[in-house]
Structures are given as C-alpha cells and as structure tokens.
C-alpha cells in the first residue's frame, strides 16, 4: 500500500499540472487581448523559421532574472500573459491567400472593438497593427501585428494588461522611437 501511494502521488501531481496548464490555455484564449493567428491561410506546408511562445511561467522567470538590471522592463514583462511571434520566410507562401486571410482577421478585430494603430498598403507590403484597449482606457489588453510581403509573413500577439507608460519604457530601453513616441489614449 505504501508503494502504491508513492507511485500515485507523482502521477496525481502530473495530472494536476496538465489540467492547470490546459486551464491557463483556456484563460489565455478567453482574454480580450488574445488573437488566434494559427489558422492563417496561405501558409500551409510552410514551416515557421522563427517561433517564439512565451507564457506566464516563463515570463515570470524572465521578470525575476532582469528585475535587478532594468526594473521598468521587468515591470512591463510582469504584466504579460503570453507573447507569440511566428516568422515565415519562403517562396512557397501564397501571399495573396495570406493577405485575404489577414483582411478577414482584421475585419474580425474591427468588429470585436480592437483599435487599428497602423495600416500600410504599399506595393505588395501589407501591414496591420492593432491594440485592444480596455473600456476604461487604462490598459492595453493585447497587441496584434500582421505583416505580409512576398516571401515573408510575420505574426505577433502580445496578451496582458499593460499601460502606455510600460510600452514607452520598453521603447526607451531598446531604443525603439516608434514606441517612445506612440500616442495611445490609455493612461
């Protein structure tokens, strides 16, 4: 009986961890800043060259590691729940299908109350940047970035409850003038 308890305890912890992880995924998908960009058409058969998927546990670890070095950036990262970045570079990308799919997603974001911060239609370049600002205009729940050009597609979704000061601090830290000069109605 004692051996059975010793074997069951780690198994129960493993099952509990899986259930907790699945619940975290459900919470992310129900968060107002989440955008599912995984089903973008035109990328079938093309593998991402770069994939970044940072979720709360890893973001917490990063926050702890950099807090002594840069408190402002650590503060920003501590408010994030998920960061996903996918970059596809291939001549096999059906750019027209990707753009058509991005237009559908952009229309959905417009309908769901996201604010378009940037739209570029220059030649074959297609860029959309959206922010999901809270009803009180205190927080940014999410950022969605979609970029398509021949041979390259970039998809980004940042989920969390951050304020404009956090974004400008991040811009100052990494010398990104566009973030420093960003004019957002959130306080």
Instruction: Classify burial at 102, counting beta carbons within 10 Å of its beta carbon; exposed 0-12, middle 13-18, buried 19 or more.
Output: buried
The answer to whether residues 105 and 52 touch, using CB atoms and an 8 Å cutoff, is no
The answer to whether residues 141 and 112 touch, using CB atoms and an 8 Å cutoff, is no
CA atoms within 13 A on the CB side of 44: 5
| Its pTM surpasses 0.85 | no
* Mean pLDDT rounded to a whole number for the chain: 80
**Would 71 be classed as within a structural domain?**
yes
**Would 1 be classed as within a structural domain?**
yes
pLDDT score of 25:
61
Per the structure, the complete domain to which residue 62 belongs is given by: 33-180
How many domains does the chain fold into? 2
Residues 56 and 141 in one domain: yes
Per DSSP (E only), the strands in 63-150 are 80-89, 115-122, 125-133, 140-149
Low pLDDT (below 70) residues in the chain:
1-26, 170, 173-174, 176, 178-179, 181-187
The DSSP output letter for 134 is: -
């Amino acid at each position: 009986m004692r051996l059975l308890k010793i074997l069951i305890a780690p198994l129960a912890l493993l099952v509990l961890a899986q259930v907790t992880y699945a619940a975290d995924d459900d919470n992310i998908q129900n968060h107002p800043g989440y955008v599912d960009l995984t089903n973008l058409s035109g990328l079938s058969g093309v593998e991402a060259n770069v994939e970044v998927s940072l979720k709360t546990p890893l973001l917490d670890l990063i926050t702890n590691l950099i807090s002594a070095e840069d408190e402002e950036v650590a503060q920003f990262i501590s408010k994030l729940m998920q960061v996903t970045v996918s970059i596809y570079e291939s001549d096999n990308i059906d750019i027209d299908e990707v753009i058509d799919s991005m237009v559908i997603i952009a229309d959905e974001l417009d309908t769901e109350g996201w604010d378009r911060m940037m739209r570029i239609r220059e030649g074959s370049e297609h860029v959309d940047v959206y922010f999901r600002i809270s009803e009180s205009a205190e927080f940014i729940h999410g950022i969605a970035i979609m970029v398509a050009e021949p041979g390259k597609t970039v998809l980004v979704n940042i989920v969390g409850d951050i304020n404009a000061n956090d974004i400008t601090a991040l811009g100052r830290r990494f010398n990104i003038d566009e973030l420093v000069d960003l004019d957002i109605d959130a306080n």
